A and B are shown apart, each in its own frame.
Chain A
């Protein structure tokens, strides 16, 4: 099956000499939910910009569903829907015009464009706002407007550059559910995000960029399996002045009601609970100290000499 996106040895050097991409290669399969991660300045937005024809590449090849952007750009563009990081619509235009016009740029005739606009705005909860000017929308609504606009021509590949940045948790979760739904319906999704919980929850495959280089490209599950140690935070029933010695485990008292425990992947959590029970310590609740992917992410960056 043709890959949704194939990038080979992609390089970008800006006019000021800044090298944003140093020859990255990756492939995103059809139907995938793919995360492109990296710290600020890693080259994620540049890579997406090249794929979406907003940035001129220096060298390398990009093909979208088999259409090379150098030789078959029109067909390649027809496959993509882009949700950029910054708001890039006319703030002084009515919401429905923005979406319907985007359909028009893809050659969709006005009556059908109107129907599709209604469908997209309804799905994203913006139909009631259709006659208002875009500038009157809240931040979360503006993000949803960009998603509606990107979906109106029914792209096979949806690229979202930090779509949930700055939106509250309720909207973020509703966006996650929506993205999972359209991915389940066959749309390939590429997502960049700073919320690693988002990538861990949504994406099946992950690539990590750092300083213009690809330092990891694997499945989310395989990446998480490389995590040898996890730190859990345990809330305990009775306050403790001092933690009893539990030599089998790395445990420490954070405050009188909270314990942190480092658990190796080859050890069972049951053993920890048995040992704590033996000392009369009752655990009320438990959570990961850090997001697992975040832990890996930081580790990979440090190994790449980019510890910060």
Chain B
């Protein structure tokens, strides 16, 4: 395929993915807005007013970056895992497998779809947050770059989950038992400096902590973690997951017999 043909193939997959979640926007974009609004009301307004400041900011302001990031993580992951698994389940992944479109374009197409949904939901949640608190922006470049890297990382993770999944149960196990606990324990609602020494160290093994803190730095200018460590962890995971995804598609694991 020529470079132009590859771009056409990539745009085809990306458009298909965006149309897919766009057609069912009530199931894909609205739920994170409602869930986050509830977090703002309960944790931000009701409980947060009793907590006081956190690292020099009102509790509501402190949790906004984490909640936006949570929407991005769960939605970018959910988009790719459900789309790729459905295409396996209904066997229309074969449309791509019989065509000359290279594996890396298939990965880029699905991942870009996940990024598109993750960021759409992140922006939607940001608008919801404006109903509760004004938004501080400390460093826009950090905000945009870290949200993009996080969406790419979790889209790749969703793709790998979908490749291995053999049933619809398999695509909900990782989000329920791994992703959600790591997200909640990744410092959305608290600073890890509040934790005892052992749990502070244990938290450092959670990659989501690095992303949430870098994102919070972009908004508030405060972080428990070095910004470069956050970028390093994100890029390292992306490289590893991309390489693994490419290998899975090349060997046909879960998609070719």
Contact = CB atoms under 8 A, between A and B. Distances in A.
Contacts of A109: 4, 8
A107 B9 contact: yes
Given A53-B98, A56-B256, A106-B100, A74 B8 contact: no
B123 to A, nearest CB: 26
Given A55-B256, A104-B8, A88 B100 contact: no
Contact of B92 (A14, A88, A110): A88
Contacts of B19: 97
Interface residues on A, range: 20 to 34
A136 to B, nearest CB: 15
Nearest to B5: A107
Interface in A68-94: 73-75, 77-78, 80, 82, 84, 86, 88-91, 93
A105 B9 contact: yes
A149 B99 CA distance: 11
Interface centre among B87, B98, B100, B251 (most CB of A within 10 A): B98
A241 interface: no
A39 interface: no
B94 A101 contact: no
A31 interface: no
Contacts of A78: 100
Contact of A54 (B1, B94, B100): B94
A15 B256 CA distance: 12
Nearest to B93: A88
B90 A91 contact: yes
B46 interface: no
A49 interface: yes
B2 interface: yes
B102 interface: yes
A4 interface: no
Contacts of B99: 77, 102, 105-106, 153
A104 B256 CA distance: 22
A49 B256 CA distance: 9
Nearest to A106: B99
A98 B95 CA distance: 9
A52 interface: yes
A55 B11 CA distance: 27
Interface in B1-27: 1-2, 4-6, 8-9, 11-13, 16, 19
Nearest to B6: A107
B135 interface: no
Contact of A88 (B5, B91, B251, B257): B91
A223 interface: no
A263 interface: no
A149 B95 contact: yes
A105 to B, nearest CB: 4
B98 A77 contact: yes
B143 interface: no
A101 B95 contact: yes
B31 interface: no
Interface centre among A78, A84, A90 (most CB of B within 10 A): A90
B4 A107 contact: yes
A69 to B, nearest CB: 12
B236 interface: no
Contacts of B11: 104, 110
A35 B177 CA distance: 51
Nearest to A74: B100
Interface string A93-121: 10001100110111111100000000000
Contacts of A90: 86-87, 90, 92
B12 A105 contact: yes
B97 interface: yes
B14 to A, nearest CB: 10
Nearest to B95: A102
Contacts of A102: 95, 99
Return the 3 tightest CB-CB contacts between A and B, nearest first: A107-B5, A104-B12, A105-B99
Given A54-B257, A82-B98, 11 more contacts: A49-B257, A54-B94, A54-B256, A74-B102, A93-B16, A97-B19, A98-B95, A104-B9, A107-B100, A108-B8, A153-B99
18 contacts: A53-B98, A55-B257, A56-B251, A56-B257, A84-B91, A88-B92, A88-B94, A89-B95, A102-B95, A104-B9, A104-B12, A105-B12, A106-B99, A107-B5, A107-B100, A108-B5, A109-B8, A153-B99
